[in-house]
Chains A and B, each alone.
Chain A
Amino acid sequence: MLQEIPTSYCYLLSAIVFIIGAVGAITRKNAIVIFMSIELMLNSVNLVFISSGNAFASMDGSIFVFFVMTVAAVEAAVGLAIFVMLFRMKGTVNADEASLMKG
Chain B
Amino acid sequence: MTNYIPVLIIIIFAFLIAALIVGASSILGHKISKKTKLDTYECGMKTIGPTRMKMNIRYYLTAMLFLIFDIEVMFLYPWALVTGNLGMFGFLEMLVFVIILLVGYVYVWKKGALEWE
Contact = CB atoms under 8 A, between A and B. Distances in A.
Interface of A: 1-3, 66, 69-70, 73-74, 76-77, 80-81, 84
Interface residues on B, range: 10 to 19
Contact of A84 (B3, B57, B68): B57
Interface of B: 3-4, 57, 60, 63-65, 67-68, 70-71, 74-75, 78
Given A3-B3, A80-B64, A81-B64, A69 B71 contact: yes
A74 B68 contact: yes
Given A66-B78, A84-B60, 5 more contacts: A2-B4, A3-B3, A76-B64, A77-B65, A80-B63
A77 B68 contact: yes
A70 B71 contact: yes
